[in-house]
Structure 1
Amino acid sequence: MGLAACLSIRGALRCIMLHMFRSTFSQGNTEEHSIHLSLHWSKPSCENCEAKGKYCQLKNNGTESETECFRSNRQGHGVSRKLIVAGIVIGVLLVLFLIIGLYTVLSLKKRKKGDQKKIEGFLEDYMALRPTRYSYADIKKITDNFKKKLGQGGYGTVYKGKLSSQLVAVKVLENFKGNGEEFINEVGTIGRIHHVNVVRLVGYCADGYRRALVYEFLPNGSLEKFISSGNQSRTLGWEKLQQIAIGIAKGLNYLHQGCNQRILHFDIKPHNILLDHNFSPKVSDFGLAKLCSKDQSVVSMTTARGTIGYIAPEVFSRNYGNVSYKADVYSFGMLLIDIVGGRENVRAAEQDSSQVYFPEWMYNQLEKGEEIEIRIEKDEDTKIFK
C-alpha cells in the first residue's frame, strides 16, 4: 500500500503502523540496532480538480501521485448545521407553545373553579331562602351548647348562634300551647315569605318534643328597648323613628296584600319589631298568626289572641264588630303612639299603668280639650310627629 493512501482519514492510522513495521525490519532484528522511522509522501497534483471546483485526494489503490476528484462535504455539514439550528428553534417554539397551553389550561381551570364556587355560593344562598330542618344536636352545635342568651319570652328562650358564616338567633320553645299551633304557624307562615321588613326564618327543629326556630340575627334587638325609656326621639331621632314606622307599615302591607294568602299577625307590638344594623324594622314572632284568603273580609276566631294594650276591641269582644285584617292596623296605631312616646304620659300620671287603658286616657284628654304633650326640641320635627 502506498503512503499516499494515508491522506484518507480512514487509512491514516493503518498506514502509519505499516510503515513503522517496515522500517523496523529493514534495519535488522538485533537489539543493538536503533530504530529509525521516517514518513514521507509526495504532494498530489490537484489543479484539474480545483479547476472543476472540486477537491482532490489520492486514490486508495493508485500510485503515489495518482489522484481523484470529489465534492466537498462542507456543504452537507452546513446543511446539517442549519437543520440542527432549525430543530432547536422548533424545539424552543414547541416548549413555548406547551407553556402557553399549560398556562391557558390552568387559567381556564382556575376560572371554572371560581365560577363553580360562585354557583355553589348562589345555591347555598338559594337553599337558605327555604327553612332548613335541623336536629337538636345541630341546634346545640349552632348555639355552642346554648352559651350566649339573648332574651326570654313567654314561649321560650332566645340564644345567639352561628351557622357557617352567618349569625342567627335561635328561639328554643319551652311552653307549648294549642297542640303545637304556635310552632306550626311560625314555620307555615314566615317560612314561605320573604320581605325586607319581615324577619327571615332560616330553619327549625322538630326533634321529638324538642322544638326550636332559627332566625336571622338582628344586632339591635327589639324596638321595645329603645322606646321603653321614653327617650327614643333623642336616641334615634325623629327621622329614624319615621323610617321605622314606615318600614313596619310596609311589612304589614306585604302580609295583608303581598302574599298568596293574607297573613294576620295578631300580635303587633314593640317587642315583636326587630331592628337590623341600620335600624331597619322587621316584623317577627308569627306564633299567633292566622291565614285567610284575600277575599275573606271576616275571620272566624274561637279565642282572643294578642297582647293587652295592643289588641283591637273586636278581637276580645264581638260587640265591637267582626274580626278582620284591620285588627293588625289597630295594633299598628297603638305601636305608633308608643313610638312617639305618648304612652309615657300615662305612666307618669298613674302609679299603676297596667290598670290604665291608654286609648281611653287619650279619649278623655281630647274630650277635655287637653293635648297630649310630647317634648319636641326642634320645630322641624313637629311635622314628623304629627
Structure 2
Amino acid sequence: MKPKSSHVRRVVAILAPIGGFILLTILFLVTFICKRRTQQQNEMEEEEEFGELQGTPMGFTFQQLKEATEQFKDKLGEGGFGSVFKGQFADERIAVKRLDRTGQGKREFSAEVRTIGRIHHINLVRLIAFCAEKSHRLLVYEYMPKGSLDRWIYCRHDNEASPLDWN
C-alpha cells in the first residue's frame, strides 16, 4: 500500500502546481480581456457623447487641429489650464487652447463646452469648436489679432503698436 500512496502523492505534487498555474493564467487572461473591452467601450461612449452634444460648437479631430496650428508651432500665451496657439483653418484664423488638465473628466469637459459654446457676447471671445479625442482636450476660439485686453490695460503689448482709442 505504501508504494501506491507515494505514487499518488507524487502525481498530486506535480499536477497541483500545474493546475494552479493554468487556473491563474486563465483568470488573468479573462480579467485582462474584460478590462480592455470595458476601456474600448468607454472610449466609444465618450466619442459618441461628444458627437451628440446639441447646441454646442462643432468638433474637430486632434489631427485637424495639429495641422491647423502647424504642429502647435506659434504659441500665443500660456495660462493656468493650458497653452494657446495660433492657427489657420480654411480662411479663418483661430486660437487653439490645449488644456493641460488631464484630471478633467468627460462630463466636466462636455459641460464646459456646452456652457462656453452658448455664450455669445460682444466683449467675450467666441468658442468656435472643440476637440475631445482620447486624452486630448482642446478648445478653438476666434482669433483676436491685437491680443487680450489685459495686455493693453497693463501695457504689456508691443511698444510700437498704437494705443487703443476709446471706441
TM-score range, shorter chain: 0.5 to 0.7
Match of 1:136 in 2: 62
Following TM superposition, by how much is the alpha carbon of 1:186 offset from its aligned partner in structure 2, in angstroms? Answer: 3.0
| 2:123 paired residue among 192, 197, 209 | 197
Q: Are residues 1:210 and 2:136 paired? A: yes
- The 1:156–1:182 alpha-carbon spacing in structure 2 relative to 1, beyond 3 Å, is farther
TM score, norm. by length of structure 2? 0.56
Distance 1:220 1:235 in 2: 11
Work out the CA distance in 1 between the residues paired with 2:147 and 2:111.
Answer: 22
Pairing 1:247-326 to 2, within 5 Å after superposition: none
CA RMSD of aligned residues (A): 2.5
Which residue in 2 is equivalent to 1:147? Answer: 73
> Which residue pairs with 1:235 in the alignment?
163
| Structure 1 spans left out of the alignment, 5+ residues | 1-128, 244-386
Q: Larger relative CO (CA 8 A, sep 6+): 1 or 2?
A: 2
The offset of 1:138, in angstroms, is 1.0
Name the residue aligned to 2:110.
Answer: 184
Q: Identical aligned pairs, as a percentage? A: 43
TM-score, L = length of structure 1: 0.26
Which structure has the larger Rg over C-alpha atoms? 1
1:221 to partner: Cα distance: 1.1
1:297-341 CA distance string (max 9 Å, x none): xxxxxxxxxxxxxxxxxxxxxxxxxxxxxxxxxxxxxxxxxxxxx
Mind listing any 5+ residue stretches in structure 2 that lack a counterpart?
1-54, 157-161
Contact 1:133 1:204 in 2 (8 A): yes
**Matching of residue 171 in structure 1 with residue 97 in structure 2:** yes
Structure in which a larger fraction of residues adopt strand: 2
Give the conservation status (yes or no) of the 8 Å contact 1:167–1:217: yes
State the Cα distance separating 1:227 from its structure 2 match: 1.8
- Counterpart contact for 1:154–1:175, Cα < 8 Å: no
Aligned residues: 108
Q: Is the 8 A contact 1:155 1:176 kept in 2?
A: no
Structure 1 Cα separation of the partners of residues 125 and 95 of structure 2: 11
Distance 2:128 2:86 in 1: 13
Q: Which amino acid aligns with 2:57?
A: P
Displacement of 1:209 in angstroms is: 0.6
